[in-house]
Amino acid sequence: MSDKQIHARYDALLTATADAVMVIEPTGLIMACSTGAADWLDKDAIIGRKLEDIFPVDINSEITAAAVKAIDTSTVIKVDFQLRPEHVPVLREQGLHETKWIELRCSSANDEVVVVLRDISDKRRLERQVTSQAQRDPLTGAYNRRALKPVLEQAVAQAQRYDWVCSLMVIDVDNFSDLNDNFSWDCGDQVLQQLVTSVHSMKRTSDFLARYGDDQFVMFMPETNHDQGMAAGQRVRRIMEEMEIPYAAGDVHFTVSVGVAALHGPEDDPDNMLRRALENLFIAKQSGHNRVEGEA
């Protein structure tokens, strides 16, 4: 088979793949390119240029390191990175108008490196969606108990490291079983959904709300001391007390009890904070419901 036939075969293979392919020298000079399905890549605009002319320093360093390793080990080296239009003006001019996740594979071919760029943005979006669903309560949309623990551990550790304050509250629907018995389970579901919707409307972006039990929710509040946590608990209590949920058997009213706990210092931990908040919640329930209790 002649060299012309071999090149024709390679060109046919490159044209058939949806991945973008570049051939680069060890210096980073792009010798050849096939764009595949990457409509944001213009081969004529990048052939003859160096990687450093196209990609930002961090991505160029990753590609270069992968290329060197591919040459040294004669293996395929994989790297994932994000392409943001604002960081790659050359590609933005060619049509890159949205952030893309790219899976890059480097393999050596004599003194050159073949670089395959695969758009895995859809895969990453699906992974995030699946992860989010696994961490969300399907009824209310709040985070679930599984998602709460790592957030508390990380946030409390950060607060201790920088000597910050933080608090959490446990919200419990008063007489929730009576709502289910007197109206229906569907009514109880609506109460929980409205509670989450209302709390989301008042909480800060940095606050973290999770469903902790059947009718219990935990809200972690960074940069919030005990008095501020108590005030937030009172806001939640008042909003629920004033709420009316239209229902076939009549408007539904309900109240909540709230227990609050704040970080006590470097020896404290999320489990102890949560335990104290639950103890304060118990006091609120035993003291007549529709109350907020905290630490003396």
3-state secondary structure the chain: CCHHHHHHHHHHHHHHCCCEEEEECCCCEEEEEECCCCCCCCHHHHCCCEHHHHCCHHHHHHHHHHHHHHHHHCCCEEEEEEECHHHCHHHHHHCCCCCEEEEEEEEEECCEEEEEEEECHHHHHHHHHHHHHHCECCCCCCECHHHHHHHHHHHHHHHHHCCCCEEEEEEEECCHHHHHHHCCHHHHHHHHHHHHHHHHHHCCCCCEEEECCCCEEEEEEECCCHHHHHHHHHHHHHHHHCCCECCCCCCECCCEEEEEEECCCCCCCHHHHHHHHHHHHHHHHHCCCCCEECCC
**pLDDT recorded at residue 6:** 46
pLDDT digits (tens, 9 = 90+) for 256-279: 999 999 999 889 999 999 999 999
Give the residue-averaged pLDDT of 66-89. Answer: 89
Q: Which residue has the higher pLDDT, 129 or 78?
A: 78
**pLDDT recorded at residue 3:** 47
Is 175 in the same domain as 91?
no
**pLDDT recorded at residue 131:** 56
pLDDT digits (tens, 9 = 90+) for 122-147: 887 776 665 555 788 989 999 999 89
From 70, 101, 123, the end of a domain falls on 123
Backbone torsions φ then ψ of 150, nearest 5 degrees? -65, -35
pLDDT digits (tens, 9 = 90+) for 158-201: 999 889 999 999 999 999 988 888 877 888 899 999 999 999 99
Q: Which residue has the higher pLDDT, 28 or 296?
A: 28
Cβ pair 106, 63 in contact under 8 A: yes
Residue 203 has pLDDT above 90, yes or no: yes
Is 94 in the same domain as 64?
yes
From 123, 156, 184, the end of a domain falls on 123
Percent of the chain residues past pLDDT 90, beyond the cut: 48
Q: Which residue has the higher pLDDT, 128 or 84?
A: 84
| CA dihedral of 155, 160, 164, 165, whole degrees rounded to 10 | 70
Residue-range definition of the domain harbouring residue 208: 135-293
Give the residue-averaged pLDDT of 208-228. Answer: 95
pTM over 0.85? The answer is: no
Is 88 in the same domain as 140?
no
Is 194 in the same domain as 106?
no
Is 142 in the same domain as 288?
yes
Is 212 in the same domain as 260?
yes
pLDDT mean across residues, the chain: 88
Is 142 in the same domain as 205?
yes
Q: Which residue has the higher pLDDT, 11 or 107?
A: 107
Amino acid in the structure at residue 240 = M
Backbone torsions φ then ψ of 70, nearest 5 degrees? -65, -40
CA 5 to chain centre: 49
Is 114 in the same domain as 154?
no
Q: How many domains does the chain have?
A: 2
Percent of the chain residues past pLDDT 70, beyond the cut: 91
